[in-house]
Structure 1
Amino acid sequence: MADATYEELILDILYVDGRISKAKLIGILAGLVVFIIYLIYMIPYSLRAGPLPFLITVSICFFQIVLYYCICRFGGYLIRRFTN
C-alpha cells in the first residue's frame, strides 16, 4: 500500500470489490455523527479552557471516529464471512 495514490486510498475507505460497502458507509456516518456531536458540545468548551484541553478533545474525537469505523467495518466483515 506504500505506492498507492491518494485516490486509491480514499476509494479503499468506502469500496469493497468495486462496490460501496454498507458497513464502511455506516462507519463513516457514525464517525460523522460523533464529529458533529463533538463540534456542537465539546469543542467550544475546550477552546475556552485553553489549547491543551482543545488538543486532548480533538485527539479523543479522532480516536472515537476511528474506533467506530473499525467496529462497523469488522461487523461487516463478520456478517459477510458467516452469511455466505
Structure 2
Amino acid sequence: LATGFSALRPGGSVVETLIASASLPCASCGYPIVDTQLRWHPRIRVSGPLAELELGPVARNIAGARRAGDRLVGVA
C-alpha cells in the first residue's frame, strides 16, 4: 500500500496463537470479526489495526484511537 500500512494483520505469532487457542473469528483477510463494542471474545476487546473492520481505515491513527476509546469507555 502507498500509505505505509501493511495489509497483513498485526500481532504475529501472539495473535495467531490466541486465534487458534480461543477459536476467535476472523474474516477472509485475516482481521478479527468484532462487534460494535470491539469485542472479539467475551474477555477480549481490540483497538488499533485489529479493530479496522469495525472502525474503518481510521482505526490505525489517532482518530481511530479516539473512536475506539469512545466505544470502550462504556464497557469498562
Which TM-score applies when normalising by structure 1?
0.31
Specify which structure has the higher proportion of helix.
1
Higher RCO (CA-CA < 8 Å; seq separation 6+): 1
Say which one has the larger Rg. 1
Which TM-score applies when normalising by structure 2?
0.34
